[in-house]
Amino acid sequence: MVKVRLATPVLQENNEVARENRERFRKHGIFVLNLMSSPGSGKTSTLERTIGHLAGRLRMGVIEGDIYTTKDAERIEAHGVPVVQINTAGSCHLDARMIRPALEDFDLDALDLLIVENVGNLVCPAEFDLGEDARAAVLSVTEGNDKPMKYPLVFRQSEAVLINKVDLLPYTDCDISQLEKDLKLINPELQLFRVSARLDEGFGPWIEWLQKKVQEKKRGEPQAG
Ligand code: MG
Ligand code: ZN
């Protein structure tokens, strides 16, 4: 019988560093969002629109997780937001130890909101606490209706889901009400936002939700999740 003892110590160590990161964010009053999705769902485009809507309202920073490239970070930088790229060098998720050194590159006192774009992957990013206050997922209507049921963990742990590419609905087999029902079945507390990052539509309620979260954090109110 082979005894395997890998997962627990790795996750335990991760959770300790995540706690340190979280304490640091608390001291600086920064609300931190871990944004997850599969590749191609439009995480970066959604983030770009979010930055556009929050410009002049909140001081934002971004951590970009990517396996090899800096393409997404360059897109974010073009919006004039401080961004730090983490190349995971092959790893398909971010962990708390990757976040810790990245924080040295920010002026944490100058931030209200830090969004971490995780590596495009619906599986293991959900297993690694980064020290964030909340998680959100981007799910596009072109991905098929079965994603929530196939990858429930990421949706169970998220507080919000941006259902992206709704402008493409007429060209897909996606039943969006069924998709939303499935998401609510997995997590009844989920806030759902229908958006089109391409057309910059539907972002109002999402921006309000984010601003509310940031204000709660500033006031030191306990964060759900
Ligand atoms: Mg991206
Ligand atoms: Zn992974």
| Cα of 42 from ligand 1 centre, angstroms | 7
Q: Identify the CATH number of the domain in which residue 23 sits.
A: 3.40.50.300
142 located within any domain: no
Query: Which listed ligand is nearest to 124 at the C-alpha?
Result: 2
127 located within any domain: yes
Does residue 45 surpass a pLDDT of 70? Answer: yes
- At 38, list the tokens: 């599969």
| Cα of 85 from ligand 2 centre, angstroms | 17
Phi/psi of residue 160, nearest 5 degrees: -140, 150
| Cα of 202 from ligand 2 centre, angstroms | 31
Query: Which listed ligand is nearest to 73 at the C-alpha?
Result: 1
Domain count, the chain: 1
pTM of the full structure: 0.93
Q: Print the domain residue range for 64.
A: 2-135+198-218
Size of the chain, expressed as the number of residues it contains: 225
Task: Render pLDDT for 141-159 as a digit per residue (tens, 0 to 9).
Answer: 999 899 999 999 999 999 9
107 located within any domain: yes
Confidence of residue 4 (pLDDT cuts 50, 70, 90): low
Query: Which listed ligand is nearest to 120 at the C-alpha?
Result: 1
Please report which helix (H) or strand (E) contains residue 128, including its range. none
Percentage with pLDDT > 70 across the chain: 96
pLDDT, residue 3, reads: 73
| Cα of 90 from ligand 2 centre, angstroms | 9
C-alpha 101: how far from chain center: 19
pLDDT, residue 183, reads: 98
| Cα of 50 from ligand 1 centre, angstroms | 14
Confidence of residue 224 (pLDDT cuts 50, 70, 90): low
Percentage with pLDDT > 90 across the chain: 88
| For range 65-93, the mean pLDDT | 93
39 located within any domain: yes
Confidence of residue 225 (pLDDT cuts 50, 70, 90): very low
Q: Which residue has the tokens 């959100």?
A: 136
Confidence of residue 7 (pLDDT cuts 50, 70, 90): low
Query: Which listed ligand is nearest to 35 at the C-alpha?
Result: 1
177 located within any domain: no
CA angle (213 as vertex; 81, 13 as ends), nearest 5: 80
103 located within any domain: yes
